[in-house]
Amino acid sequence: MDATDKELIAAVLDGDASSFEPLVERYQPRVFATARRYARREDEVEDIVQEIFIKAYQKLSTYRAEAPFEHWLMRMAVRTCYDFLRKHQRNREHNVTEISAEENDWLENVGEDTTEREAHRDAAKALVDRLLEGLSPDFRLVITLLEIEEKSVKEIAELTGWSVSLVKVRAYRARNQMRKMLARVAPEKYL
Amino acid sequence: MKLDQIIEKLLSTARKDQPSDRVPYAFEKRIMAQIADLPSAAEDLWAAWSRLLWRAVAPCAAVAVLTAMAWFSVSPAQPDRAMLDPELEEIVAMAIELPAE
């Protein structure tokens, strides 16, 4: 029978570092999926995941077992991803107004059924990625957690360490910023 | 179509597109190799603090020895000759004698 998280953590804290490996194996798929929401390049994703697990190992003695280990780890994952976004903010600033022909087609036909087709779905995905990358790190994080991962405001507050009201304010402003960016893409159509 | 509706459509596309949870081969081994170079997670702050103190012993001792050497290498202060000047002594003596007159 597999050891529980609690048993493995106790073993690591007793000095058996190898007991950390099953914890990594158990949670790495989820941590990879989270990191892939914020970093596009695979080498960046691997660096983020590595940093998350190393931080988790170093701070394991601060884990109080009041909540499941997974929650504690995911909080660390979200905060590390946020740090990554802040560090790479300058590299990611780009002109959202320069959209591809496919993305433009998607916007042109957005009200029609054709938008559900595979090619159009890819264009929509590229466009939403472009919009998210144009947002500031805090706005991107809040939109990703609230609108894409569909987490509650309270959950986001716990994950990020922000207050509930700050999450709400940032979510409102982030949506406004997305609206402005989208309006810049096709001003003749929406303004 | 309004901007909000377009944003909603874009976000719903993003919602359907779940990122992959694929893990590179033996990734956990890579993490464990990194962890092997780190101090143990069991180590508490006091242990880290005492290790730092022990590491500081040699440099502190070296600084103490150098300071002592510098202190003793400087010649001891000489009494100020001006203070022992006979003229000054005379003035002081006069001051003492004056009330007696």
pLDDT in tens, B15-57: 988 899 999 999 999 999 999 887 766 566 676 788 788 889 9
Tell me the pTM. 0.72
CA–CA distance, A164 with A184 (Å, rounded to integer): 31
Identify the CATH number of the domain defined by range A93-191: 1.10.10.10
Residue among A17, A32, A124 whose CB faces B23 most closely: A32
CA–CA distance, B97 with B74 (Å, rounded to integer): 40
Q: How far is C-alpha B34 from the geometric centre of its chain's CA atoms? A: 27
- Residue in B with minimal Cα distance to A37: B19
Min CA distance, A165 vs chain B (Å)?
Answer: 22
Provide mean pLDDT across the span A135-147: 95
First-residue to last-residue Cα distance in chain A: 62
Buried b (16+ CB within 10 A) or exposed e, A32-60: bbbbbbbbeeeeebbebbbbbbbebbeeb
pLDDT tens across B48-71, in order?
A: 788 788 889 999 999 999 999 998
First-residue to last-residue Cα distance in chain B: 117
For chain A, positions 49-68, list CB contacts with chain B under 8 A.
49-50, 53-54, 57-58, 60-61
Topology annotation, domain A1-92: Rna Polymerase Sigma Factor; Chain: A (1.10.1740)
Tell me the domain boundaries of chain A: 1-92, 93-191
Give A73 or A103, the one with higher predicted confidence. Answer: A73
CA–CA distance, A53 with A55 (Å, rounded to integer): 5
**Cα dihedral A120, A122, A126, A131 in deg (nearest 10):** 60
pLDDT tens across A18-37, in order?
A: 999 999 999 999 999 999 99
Q: How far is C-alpha A109 from the geometric centre of its chain's CA atoms? A: 29
Of the CA atoms within 13 Å of residue A34, those in its CB half-sphere come to 26
Say whether residue A179 is in contact with chain B using an 8 A CB cutoff. yes
Q: How confident is the model at residue B79 (pLDDT cuts 50, 70, 90)?
A: low
Q: How far is C-alpha B86 from the geometric centre of its chain's CA atoms? A: 54
- Answer whether residue B11 shows pLDDT above 70: yes
CA–CA distance, B49 with A7 (Å, rounded to integer): 28
Using an 8 Å CB-CB cutoff, list chain B residues near A150. Answer: 15
- Residue in B with minimal Cα distance to A56: B41
Give A187 or B56, the one with higher predicted confidence. Answer: B56
A124/B40 touch (CB, cutoff 8 Å), yes or no:
no
For chain A, positions 156-175, list CB contacts with chain B under 8 A.
175
Using an 8 Å CB-CB cutoff, list chain B residues near A178. Answer: 7
Residue among B4, B13, B31 whose CB faces A54 most closely: B31
Using an 8 Å CB-CB cutoff, list chain B residues near A148. Answer: 11, 14-15
A121/B44 touch (CB, cutoff 8 Å), yes or no:
no
pLDDT tens across A28-61, in order?
A: 999 999 999 999 899 999 999 999 999 999 999 8
Of the CA atoms within 13 Å of residue A76, those in its CB half-sphere come to 25
- Answer whether residue A14 shows pLDDT above 70: yes
